[in-house]
Structure 1
Amino acid sequence: MYETILFPTDGSEATIGAAKHAFSHAERYDAAIHVLSIVETASGLGTAGHDETELDERRAERASAAERIVSETAPDGVEATIAVEFGSPARVIAEYADRNAIDLVVMSTKGRSGAERIVFGSITDEVVRHADAPVLAVQR
């Protein structure tokens, strides 16, 4: 049913529950899984105005957090591809899903909260509205 699954993560503990679901589906369907972490860039301006060293550090931090989640949650025999990209999280997730023929996106409903959620909205909500692939939203 699913050949390629996408699990976007910010590396936080709030995403561990969704990671378990994503890897469970990957194991059940013998699917490839992509773990995507995004370095959010302000106002969609991309990497302009950011120091190259700072961007490299942020990429390395995100990659390390994604690797930690994979090592903590991936069952034996399930291989994960880890990717780190820059930009607006919802847009990057939807575009990544399209580029990589993702059959299912599994993501946490936890993330932004309070005023930040009111102003920016939920990343999961945006992905549900804009991604072509089905989205499994996992509550913590």
Structure 2
Amino acid sequence: MYDRILVPTDGSPEVEHALEYAFDVARAHDAVIRAIYVVNAAGYGGLPMETAWEGISKALREEGRAAVERVEQLAPESVEVETAVLEGSPSRVIIDEATPSSCDLVVMGTHGRGGIDRLLLGSVTERVVRSAAVPVLTVNVDPNKIDDGVDQPQVAVE
């Protein structure tokens, strides 16, 4: 049923909980994980000097490489992982990647980075859920709910 699973990551530890679900589904379906990190170039468009953007862009790309490499490190040996660092509006890039010709399922956390970023930018996950052409599995990554001592349900896919 699922051959390719898109997993956006922002590199935060909370996203690792969503990865557990993605790996479970990938193992059950012998699917490939496509882990992506999106450099949000629009968030830094007002910088006065082009050289300043180049430095920030380089740092964000390095952060992105580290984030997708972390997905590769966490993946079980039985799960193939492809990675990409892309640039653009996170929700738009994820939606563009979430096409039936590219993937069968998107697995993402309910939120990654929060706080002021979430207030200013809105919910990337919400935009993806509303607009993606393929099913989206959202996983609560709230650390207050993850570490509450209650066993999390396992994904059972037949």
Q: TM-score range by the shorter chain?
A: 0.7 to 0.9
Is this contact kept in 1: 2:106–2:135, CA < 8 A? yes
Write the distance in 2 (CA, Å) between the matches of 1:137 and 1:87: 22
Q: CA deviation at 1:14?
A: 1.0
Q: Alignment partner of 1:111: what SS?
A: coil
Deviation at 1:76, TM superposition (A): 1.4
Q: Secondary structure at the match of 2:35?
A: strand
**Cα displacement (A) at 1:43:** 5.0
Give the C-alpha shift of residue 32 in structure 1. 1.3
Give 2:155's aligned residue: none
Q: Which amino acid aligns with 2:72?
A: V
- SS at 2:14's partner residue? helix
Q: What is the aligned partner in structure 1 of residue 57 from structure 2? A: 55
Name the CA distance, whole Å, in 2 between partners of 1:86 and 1:100. Answer: 20
The alignment yields a C-alpha RMSD, in angstroms, of 2.2
Q: CA deviation at 1:97?
A: 1.8
User: After superposition, what is the alpha-carbon deviation per residue over 1:75-128, rounded to whole angstroms, capped at 9, x for unaligned?
Assistant: 112110000001110000011122852100000012243443333211100000
Flag the 1:113–1:56 CA change in 2: closer, same or farther, 3 A.
Answer: closer
In structure 2, distance between residues paired with 1:29 and 1:39: 30
- 1:108 and 2:109 equivalent? yes
Aligned residues: 137
In the other structure, the counterpart of 1:139 is 140
Does residue 1:34 correspond to 2:43, yes or no? no
Residues 24, 126 of structure 1: alpha-carbon distance in 2 compared, 3 angstrom cutoff: same
Once the two structures are superposed, what CA deviation does each residue of 1:10-50 show, in whole Å capped at 9, x if it has no partner?
Answer: 010010000111111111100111000011112596xxx46
Q: Quick one: percent identity of the two aligned structures?
A: 43
Q: Give the aligned partner of residue 65 of structure 1.
A: 67
Corresponding letter in the other structure for 1:94: I
Which runs of 4 or more aligned residues in structure 1 lie more than 4 Å from their structure 2 counterparts after TM superposition? none
- Output the amino acid matched with 2:8: P
Deviation at 1:64, TM superposition (A): 1.4
TM-score (norm 2): 0.77
Verify the 8 A CA contact 2:31 2:80 in the aligned structure 1.
no
The 8 Å contact of residues 44 and 87 in structure 1, kept in 2 or not, is answered as no
Which TM-score applies when normalising by structure 1?
A: 0.86
